[in-house]
Amino acid sequence: MKKSFLSFVAVIMMLGARADEGMWIPMLIGKNYDEMLRLGLKLTADDIYSINHSSLKDAILQFGGGCTAEMISDNGLLLTNHHCGYDAIANLSTVERDLLDNGFWAHNLQEELPAQGVTALFLQSMEDVTDKVKAAVGDATGEDYNKKYDAIRKEIEEKAANKGQFVANVRDYFNGNQFFLLIYKRYTDVRLVGTPPKSLGKFGGDTDNWMWPRHTSDFSMFRIYAGENNEPKAYAATNVPYHPKKFLPVSARGVHEGDYAMVMGYPGRTNRYEVSYGVDLAVNVVNPSIVTCRDLRLAIMRRHMDMNKATYLQLTSSYSRIANYWKYYIGQTEQLKRLNVVSEKAKAEDQFTKWEHDNNMSADLMNKFASMYKDYTPYAKHAVYYGECFRATAIARMGGALKPLYDAYERHNGELTDDTLKKFINMAKNAYRGNLKEFDLGTEKELFTEMTALYYKNVPKDQLPDIYAKAVFKKRDADSKEAYADYTEYVFAHTFLTDSNKFNAFCDNPSFSKLKSDAAMQYDMSFITNYVTNYQSKGEAFNYKKAELSKQYVHELMMQQKDRMFYPDANSTMRVTYGKVLSYDPQDGVHDNYFTTLDGLMAKYKPGSDEFDVPQDLINLYKAKDYGRYADADGTLHTDFITNNDITGGNSGSPCINANGELIGAAFDGNWEAMSGDIAFDKKYKRTIVCDIRFILFLIDKMGHADNLIKEMDIRY
């Protein structure tokens, strides 16, 4: 079966490419390479991906689990986005030494700061394991398929990991039609080297996020350290800088319209083969629900962060993550509507159904999709509110971590062995510590009040948990705003979850009676039990069926459209995308240039603004036009530029590489007009926003005075 599928994919991959669309597997570049050459690439295919010698793949790494970074020196120095290093920078900051607001530059190795919890993952190799997986799962479907797939995946991964020497992941491609084993090395001693002040690293804030023109210096720098023989080792003072197999030289020559541009990285998730019914559900139910929950959540967090600097540092990483995709879902919905994606997909699906009938295919897939979405839609909003509204509070997540203990007590009539207790208590302690990092009492109480009210207002009344009738409205009616505030005060006065001393005391002497009588646990268990018992299975059944239909749909699409160039959806594995530096017209009568400048940044400058203020050092450099070797011949300093590369979340920090394999910038965002891109790619509008490497070098050199870093890189002027 593998041979027939792969030969079919190979044929498709040889039939031509569109330069801007597609997140391609580097190992399977195929005839993409001819198109890359036509666009100006000067490298060989082996220069991009090879297991026999060093290649670009060895300079690209997955950073922190959700971003991309690139090696830029032989001494372990890496470049990624500011927002990718944001958590680490915030965690290293204090009110007295605020690295986030003031920036930081290490002028020697001794000044570099350990970034606890940050990891660097390097791809070693890829192997097709489709035969093994398909032989193991057979014709299984639904939960049975998942069990068999998990078993064979675990077997393959454990063997490939070689007793912990490697990280091994089996991933599916083309909606479960193909499987690859990816083997990585993971480094955990990662240290902060440099970051511009947040005013520059997040310049424009939420206002400019997902927008062009942009002037953000979205970068930060870290260094990877290793133990003996350049191998991974936990942090130790004796560790030395890692020496990569490959690092990227840096081009300070600038970019021009039409230049070749290539982005390599780890894009997170796309859903380009989604059917019209799924897009309709996203546009009308899922996305608006997410935005409603996050609107309120962000407003509450912002209010408390503005009042207290310590609270700001505590919550700022969480706030940034929530805000980023709050605006994303607004933009995605707007663009899906503007591009009429539902109706366009429906037209294509009509043609697909006709092809099915004409070719005697018995699947009737579109009717099956329609029926599946019709059955699930009544519960879709509840699923969103459970994740985005109920679980917005730390108290909900803390209680959720105690549910396994609660359930174990319930199964065993309140009596557990010491070993069982220890296992569940340790699980709860680990989760509690994680949630405590983002727990601010004032913020938490307001979130609890408002999220409880929002859940009641928007979730269908016949799907609500019983805690509303039993406790929230026990003394006041459902229309009373005071009911929620009163209930919040009651819960917080009668729980051990909000006080670490009380929580630890419970862990030292746990009992079922203490769990059951705790007001926060009563609240949490009502929500969790209601959802798990009545609605989680509906979501699981929907997901099982969707996976099954989607797998068949992609397979048949490839049969129907034999002249089309197919690529797999993003799945957090390494991809390469290629195109050009390119301006665009976002709307009628409007033309946006392909680059922005420091002049434009200073035109946005607003003293004291949380989004558009800049450091005095930059103002001084701007007034003196002291740009060093990093400006154009006419004295203009570029800040950001755009390309027509195809990227998504997870590509943050990815290198933008020129035709010679040199680094020209760090990709960090997409544009508003193409925010439909994870579902429907739009060739006319799609742009990738890149921080110009010359702006990065200027800030390192002129503001950071870190000439040690400038000397360390291979910069080509």
First-to-final CA distance of the chain: 52
CB-side exposure of 340: number of CA atoms within 13 Å?
5
Cis previous bond, 213, omega within 30? yes
Q: Which of 83, 215, 304, 382 is catalytic?
A: 83
Q: Where are the alpha helices (DSSP H) in 494-595?
A: 500-508, 512-517, 519-534, 536-560
The pair of structure tokens assigned to 468 is 């509303």
In DSSP notation, 89-140 reads HHHT--SSS-HHHH-EE-SSGGG-EE-TT--EEEEEEEEE-HHHHHHHHTT-
Matching residue, tokens 């009651």: 490
Q: Which of 652, 654, 669, 678 is catalytic?
A: 652
Residue 218 annotated to the active site? yes
Token output for 37: 């050459």
Of the candidates 574, 716, 630, which has an alpha carbon nearest to the alpha carbon of residue 262? Answer: 574
- The answer to whether 555 is a known catalytic residue is no
Catalytic residue among 58, 98, 172, 218: 218
Q: Is 55 a catalytic residue?
A: no
Residues 6+ apart with CB under 8 A from 29: 36, 45, 48, 49, 576
Measure the CA–CA gap between 404 and 678, rounded to whole angstroms.
36
Strands 715-716 vs 250-251: parallel, antiparallel or unpaired: parallel
CA distances from 715 to 217, 662, 710 (A): 19, 9, 8
Residue 508, exposed/middle/buried by CB under 10 A (0-12, 13-18, 19+)?
Answer: exposed
The catalytic residues are 83, 218, 652
